[in-house]
Chains A and B, each alone.
Chain A
Amino acid sequence: MEKVLLKGNEIIGEAAIRSGCKLFFGYPITPSTEVVEYLSKHLPPVGGTVLQAEDEIAAINMCYGAAATGSRVLTASSSPGVSLKQEGISYSAAAELPMVIVNVNRCGPGLGGLGPAQSDYFQSVKGGGHGDYRLIVLAPSTAQELYDFTMQGFDLADQYRNPVMILSDGFLGQTMEPVVLKDRPEAPKVDRDWIIDGAKGRKKRILASYSLTNEIGEANNLRWEAKYKNIQEKEQQWEEFHTEDAEYLLVSYGTTGRICKSTVLNARKKGIKLGLIRPITLWPYPEKAFAPYKDKVKGIVTVELNTGQMIEDVKLSVECKMPVHLYRRQGGMLPTEHEILDYVEDTFNLTAVEEV
């Protein structure tokens, strides 16, 4: 298998091409722009289409149209651009359209800055657009995962007829790392009796999200709810790092999840039994990961690049059976592994352990 050195954003483009994605609609915004640039260069030569839309609203609605034909389609943006796409994302979830949406999270609110942040957690996993819907949200922490999760994202989207978001950030998007270009996994077998491709030899189809009566509206919502429950049951993904004997846990995803691994190793050198749970799916949130530790662990620190958004899901997952604290940086700043460990030691009064 080939190994390449690419920027994180470019790896997403390469994974999309190798996933059989033939259509990309987007609008440039830093720090996601290399996705559209890479695909503009590499997708047309293999028979694909890249269209730089007039704005993000157009781009997501073009995805909506293309996905309605059963084609694999991708869009990529960064936080303020994803805000503009929210209308189309809600419609796509309602019309049950498979597509992959990349959010290379920058910091906000508002125009914010270009540095890495995780301040779009709520927007990504709690809705963002109007109505009661869910996206499957995957959170890579390395370039290899950007590649793997993009491929997996297309399959999950097809399997569940649901939009999938890859939640990256400015650090991952802009960093160059080696990546093994694995082959595309075998695509899930999916029914295509819903796609809109012209009513040749069959009855016409309408793919829309409008429900004229409350009865139909409720039936639709119940159907979606059942689908989301099924995904919640089957698709939770996470990584555990030195958790078996852990007395304290860090919980962190993406870029900070990666930094936290060094923190865990440093802690272990000092005799502190620290472990890490790194959520990979942010929705469905991997609550199952916490079950074995609910009665064992003395405390948790979530490490986030926001004011504390994921911490709410951690508290729900551990059912308030232990203290859950937050260490955060914001505005584009990243924590160091030492800062995180200092916080853990201070919070749980662990200086004595170090002296032993």
Chain B
Amino acid sequence: MEKVFSRSKGLSDVPFSFCPGCTHGIIMRLIAEILEELDIIEDTIGISPVGCAGFCQDFFTCDFVGAPHGRAQAVGIGVKRAMPDRTVFTYQGDGDMAAIGTQHAIHAAARGEKITSIMVNNAIYGMTGGQMAPTTLEGMKTSTSPYGRDTILTGAPMDFPKVIAALEGAVYVASVSVDSPKNIKQAKAAIKKAFKVQQAGLGFALVSVLSTCPTNWGMTPVESLQWLRDNMMPIYEMGELKMTEEVKSL
């Protein structure tokens, strides 16, 4: 019998440890497939953050450096500047990149740092137990917004990829989702492009991936996906938000 599907060479044999229904596993598999397809597993250095996304260092087969909270891009830039011919990517949650690490994300983009960043946006702090993030939706209940996020007190949800897209050095910015097979395919294409941008040395690339947190949202996996479609997709602009002419020709 012909083997039509197997574990990507980009993934180790460590079993995913995520909660049922969490889409981290899908996103990591996509990245692993891309590393394999581009044949860069042995040339790639991943930077892991804190939070649930931080487990990524165990699941990939490439080298990894574990960064302090919010500092993944600064650490990645240090690696890339030391070894410019290696592929460097950061894998961070929305709390890590759009809250505590905001300054590094903005300046990595402004300087056009030649690294690839993946931001997984589930509108909440996952591992710390479901607290409010800058990406938490209006009215959304979390452990630190138990009456629902009041935007008068705490501001409106931050569409972080749009902030990054405004900066000259960010040459590719996309916002995707992994809630359906069709969207998973699109997400993979966007992430692959973000890696190709780095290979071509064009500048900073960011892909934001909408994700679920059934545990902290208090929903089933299926309800979570529907909630994401109904509530997150209308708020966060989807698609390729920015692409320079050079990136289009990749």
Interface residues of chain A, those whose CB is within 8 Å of chain B, are: 22-23, 25, 49, 51, 53-55, 57-59, 61-69, 71, 73, 87-88, 91, 95, 196-201, 204-210
CB-defined contacts of B58 to chain A, threshold 8 Å: 206
CB-defined contacts of A73 to chain B, threshold 8 Å: 78, 82
Do A65 and B77 touch (CB < 8 A)? Answer: yes
Interface residues contributed by chain B, number (CB under 8 Å): 36
Stretch of B25-33, B66-74, B150-158, B197-205 with 4 or more beta carbons under 8 angstroms from chain A: B66-74
CB-defined contacts of A25 to chain B, threshold 8 Å: 78
Q: Is B75 positioned at the interface, with any CB of A under 8 Å from its CB?
A: yes
Smallest CB-CB separation from B71: which chain A residue?
Answer: A61
Cα–Cα distance between A268 and B81 once the two chains are bound (Å) = 55
Smallest CB-CB separation from A67: which chain B residue?
Answer: B78
Q: 4 tightest A-B contacts by CB?
A: A208-B66, A65-B78, A61-B74, A62-B78
Do B74 and A57 touch (CB < 8 A)? Answer: yes
CB-defined contacts of A64 to chain B, threshold 8 Å: 65, 67-68, 71, 74-75, 78
CB-defined contacts of A208 to chain B, threshold 8 Å: 48, 57, 64-66
Cα–Cα distance between A329 and B106 once the two chains are bound (Å) = 43
For this complex, 12 residue pairs linking A to B, each with C-beta atoms less than 8 Å apart, are A51-B81, A57-B74, A61-B67, A62-B75, A64-B68, A68-B75, A73-B78, A196-B79, A201-B42, A205-B64, A206-B65, A206-B66
**B60 to chain A: closest CB distance in Å?**
7
Do B63 and A66 touch (CB < 8 A)? Answer: no
Smallest CB-CB separation from A200: which chain B residue?
Answer: B42
Smallest CB-CB separation from A22: which chain B residue?
Answer: B82
- Most chain A CB neighbours (cut-off 10 Å) among B66, B78, B106: B78
Q: A65-B78, A68-B65 are in contact. List 10 more A-B contacts (CB 8 A).
A: A22-B82, A58-B103, A65-B76, A65-B79, A69-B82, A71-B82, A73-B78, A196-B63, A206-B65, A206-B66
Cα–Cα distance between A95 and B82 once the two chains are bound (Å) = 17
Interface residues of chain B, those whose CB is within 8 Å of chain A, are: 12, 41-45, 47-48, 54, 57-58, 60-68, 71, 74-83, 86, 103-104, 106-107
Smallest CB-CB separation from B48: which chain A residue?
Answer: A208
Q: Kindly identify which residue among A54, A63, A88, A196 contacts B103, using a CB–CB cutoff of 8 Å.
A: A54
- Most chain A CB neighbours (cut-off 10 Å) among B62, B76, B83: B83
Do A66 and B79 touch (CB < 8 A)? Answer: yes
**B90 to chain A: closest CB distance in Å?**
10
CB-defined contacts of A58 to chain B, threshold 8 Å: 71, 74, 77, 103-104, 107
Q: Kindly identify which residue among B57, B81, B82, B104 contacts A206, using a CB–CB cutoff of 8 Å.
A: B57
CB-defined contacts of A209 to chain B, threshold 8 Å: 66
Cα–Cα distance between A201 and B42 once the two chains are bound (Å) = 8
Given A65-B47, A65-B78, A69-B82: A198 in contact with B66 (beta carbons within 8 A): no
Smallest CB-CB separation from B103: which chain A residue?
Answer: A54
Q: Kindly identify which residue among A57, A69, A198, A205 contacts B71, using a CB–CB cutoff of 8 Å.
A: A57
Cα–Cα distance between A73 and B82 once the two chains are bound (Å) = 9
Q: Kindly identify which residue among A67, A198, A207 contacts B44, using a CB–CB cutoff of 8 Å.
A: A198
Cα–Cα distance between A205 and B64 once the two chains are bound (Å) = 6
CB-defined contacts of B68 to chain A, threshold 8 Å: 61, 64, 87-88, 91
CB-defined contacts of A23 to chain B, threshold 8 Å: 78, 81-82
Cα–Cα distance between A49 and B77 once the two chains are bound (Å) = 12
Do A198 and B43 touch (CB < 8 A)? Answer: yes
CB-defined contacts of B86 to chain A, threshold 8 Å: 197-198
Cα–Cα distance between A140 and B63 once the two chains are bound (Å) = 38
Smallest CB-CB separation from B72: which chain A residue?
Answer: A61
